[in-house]
Amino acid sequence: MLLDGINSPSDIKGLNISELNQLAEEVRTVMMQKMSVCGGHFGPNFGFVEASIALHYTFESPKDKFLFDVSHQCYIHKILTGRREAFVNPEKYYSINGFTNPDESEHDFFKVGHSATSISLACGMAKARDLRGTKENVVAIIGDGALSGGEAYEGLNYAAELGSNLIVVVNDNSMAIAENHGGLYPHLKTLRESYGQASNNIFKALGFDYYYVDEGNDIKSLLAVFARVKDTAHPTVVHIKTVKGKGYEIAEDAAENWHWRPPFFIETGEMRNYHMGTVGYDEVTRDYFLQKMKEDPSFAVLVAAVPGSVRFYKEERTRAGKQFCDVGIAEEHAITMAAGMSKNGGKPVFVTDCTFFQRTYDQISHDLCLNNAPATLLVRNASVWGLKDVTHLGFFDIPMMSNIPNLVYLAPTNLEEYMAMLKWSVDQTERTVAIRLPKAPITHAEYEVIEDYGNLNKAVLCKSGEKVAIIAVGDFFSLGEKVVEKLKKEQNIQATLINPRYITGLDTEMLESLKKSHSVVVTLEDGSLDGGYGQKVASYYGSSAMKVLNVGLKKEFIDRYDANEVLKQNGITPDNIVKDIQFTLKSGFNLLQFIKFGLVGLSNTVVAYAVYAVSIYLGVSYIVANLFGFIVSVYNAYFWSNKYVFPPRGGNKRNKWATLLKTYAAYSVTGVFLNSGLLYLFIDSWRINSYLAQAICLFITVPLNFILNKFWSFKEFE
Ligand SMILES: Cc1ncc(C[n+]2csc(CCOP(=O)(O)OP(=O)(O)O)c2C)c(N)n1
């Protein structure tokens, strides 16, 4: 295979056209093998094989910079830039991710997964280049679909002013995930049909030089044009016509289904693990939409180029007609458009993935909520169980949404509640409502579900108890149920269980009433803790004696994670939560805890002494012997404290080093440091026999350990 010899882009520079074509076929073969096992962005990559090869043949990456839009089409770029093994060796399939990633290679500059950023990134890189006075090419690679995103236009508009080298490769396969929408697309069609000759040309109008390549899957044609535009000193668009899924007929014929494809059988294209007819929240949402559209002509659903996410495929889109608006990859526009509709007699629902809501903060705040515009926002995949790529994480929404004034953010816990909230929200006329679609499989209500959510922030008391109250948000409600059950079984505590329903406000009456017979309130949320729901509850109780435990995720970017592992790392298992509760209930002076601390302190000193004694016996100098004792006692303190003393989250892996230091700090004064100091005094100055000296030290340090731990380590760790 030619591919075996390609370790960097320079390895393709000596190949002739027929070899480059052979390379293209080999690349397709390995991508096919890998994606048939792992799934992946099939259509975008199969359509961009020749262009990727021609780009790397022509330009000098990484000196010349490639900026990929969305970057879901970067597989070939990865293969050609030293990451071939991750495609040819099944054991390495998961060693890289599916988007550009500077952690993997110097040929990648940004972690990207959201659309329409490439031209702005390229403008920035070009600007910095010009300021520095160097000459490299900056190349943005953007699909026709991504050109519907507002930021793409902002970049195109600025580029003319840049007045220097900036090459925008428009990869036009006439498709986003589904069909494109908007006035740009008939225009692109005209450009394609006139082979780029039409006099009306948006790119030229914006100040770009313009080149058209009709055979965008032909390496020779591409090489000719890329050679012409290389090193040009002004912004240039190279518009190439490609075929999504090129080279695999099944994918070419069903481009929407093959944009991203789960693992499949190569011979038939059928998915490997396809479960027919599974009904989740997306399916019930679709059914409600279709029904409501029939009943109410003012009702409309807006999506931003991901119609399949609520199961609106060709058939559903046709049935919905004008009541279904795919606005392109333009979430900001969709939200502001919803604001407009809602103020003119429309009932808009905008639905997309949690991660894409991130770019709509201002539209939600300024256009919807400031105006109390009655629109409904449905937030999908908002969960640790949602999308797992670092570019698409779904657990930052609660801090974002819950701090926008006027917004009502609802977290249903079961199907009946979700449907009731959705129906209420669509028909009410007073405010903007967002609903966090549960990610978990459908569950059903075991308590009465109300129809009207206009009486804001009223939580439901699902189980009444004492001592401990669990407030479980959205699809962490079932976790709350498990914790309640475990507390009953293991601690004989009948805890209170609350479904808060509203994330944007607190049921202060209920929180106040908990003070009477509860001492610990636990909040559970399937999202980042910082600025989230639980912290609002903690802040409410701040001036009271109530102890509040916030359970949720750490604020961090994580990539392709195992959700179970992340939950464990964050202490989010029924076991850990119950242990935390137990610990919190017992804090204050607690004899058992006191003894445990004391015993660790004692074992610390004993271990240090034993190691010291053995070392001296082996003839090591007493300073080195003490150092050995010190190291072993650090480990001793860390090990036993984690096992028996700290609450589970205090001993969390994430804080390993901090915990170690704190632990040792708590014991070292009375343990080894004091020991060392005294030993130095006894042996060096007073010339006492070293065994006797160590015994005297033990006699002094052990009781001191107990006393100091009472005052110090309790404060440290509770
Ligand atoms: C802000 C944002 N919204 C939605 C998406 C989901 N998405 C990923 S790729 C894609 C279509 C991109 O179409 P195009 O740019 O034409 O590239 P192609 O896949 O056709 O090569 C969409 C909508 C996204 N990545 N970012």
Ligand 1 centroid to Cα of residue 336, in Å, is 20
Q: pLDDT at position 621, please?
A: 80
Q: In whole angstroms, give the CA distance from residue 56 to residue 358.
A: 33
Q: Return phi, psi of residue 258, to 5°.
A: -110, 15
Read off the pLDDT of each residue in 480-507 and give the average, rounded to a whole number: 97
Q: pLDDT at position 648, please?
A: 52
Q: In the chain, what are the domains?
A: 2-253 (3.40.50.970), 281-436 (3.40.50.970), 460-586 (3.40.50.920), 591-717 (no CATH)
Closest among 408, 399, 420, 357 to 526, alpha carbons compared: 399
Ligand 1 centroid to Cα of residue 146, in Å, is 6
706 pLDDT tier (thresholds 50, 70, 90): low
Read off the pLDDT of each residue in 261-271 and give the average, rounded to a whole number: 97
Residue nearest to atom 11 of ligand 1 (CA): 176
252 pLDDT tier (thresholds 50, 70, 90): very high
Ligand 1 centroid to Cα of residue 322, in Å, is 23
CB 277 within 8 A of CB 285: no
Inform me whether the pLDDT recorded for 655 exceeds 60.
no
Radius of gyration of the chain (CA): 31
Residue nearest to atom 20 of ligand 1 (CA): 176
Q: Which of 130-144, 162-176, 268-282, 568-582 is the least confident region?
A: 268-282
Ligand 1 nearest-atom number relative to CA 175 = 20
Q: In whole angstroms, give the CA distance from residue 616 to residue 57.
A: 68
CB 1 within 8 A of CB 26: yes
- Percent composition of the chain: helix, strand, coil (DSSP 3-state, to 5): 50, 15, 35
Choosing from 175, 329, 352, 393 the residue with most ligand 1 atoms within 8 A of its CB, the one to mutate for a pocket test is 329
pTM value is 0.86
Q: pLDDT at position 296, please?
A: 98
574 pLDDT tier (thresholds 50, 70, 90): very high
Helix/strand/coil for 84: coil
Retrieve residue 662's tokens.
């704190």
Q: In whole angstroms, give the CA distance from residue 354 to residue 383.
A: 9
Helix/strand/coil for 195: coil
From first CA to last CA, the distance across the chain in angstroms is 62
Q: pLDDT at position 490, please?
A: 94
Q: Which residue has the higher pLDDT, 584 or 392?
A: 392
Who lines ligand 1 at CB under 6 A?
A: 44, 70, 72-73, 113-115, 143-146, 171, 173, 175-177, 244, 259, 304-306, 329, 331, 356
Choosing from 41, 50, 52, 70 the residue with most ligand 1 atoms within 8 A of its CB, the one to mutate for a pocket test is 70
CB 350 within 8 A of CB 432: no
Residue 555 makes CB contacts below 8 A (sequence gap 6+) with: 396, 528, 529, 530
Read off the pLDDT of each residue in 656-678 and give the average, rounded to a whole number: 61
Q: pLDDT at position 615, please?
A: 83
Helix/strand/coil for 440: coil
Ligand 1 nearest-atom number relative to CA 146 = 15
Retrieve residue 280's tokens.
């989740």
- What Å distances lie between residue 536 and 149, 521, 541, 543, 630, CA to CA? 35, 12, 9, 13, 43
Q: pLDDT at position 716, please?
A: 40
CB 237 within 8 A of CB 209: yes
Distance of CA 325 to the CA centre of its chain: 27
CA atoms within 13 A on the CB side of 515: 14
CB 529 within 8 A of CB 535: yes
Ligand 1 centroid to Cα of residue 305, in Å, is 7
Ligand 1 nearest-atom number relative to CA 329 = 3
Ligand 1 centroid to Cα of residue 225, in Å, is 26
Q: In whole angstroms, give the CA distance from residue 485 to residue 112.
A: 43
Ligand 1 centroid to Cα of residue 150, in Å, is 13
Q: In whole angstroms, give the CA distance from residue 2 to residue 4.
A: 5
Inform me whether the pLDDT recorded for 589 exceeds 80.
no
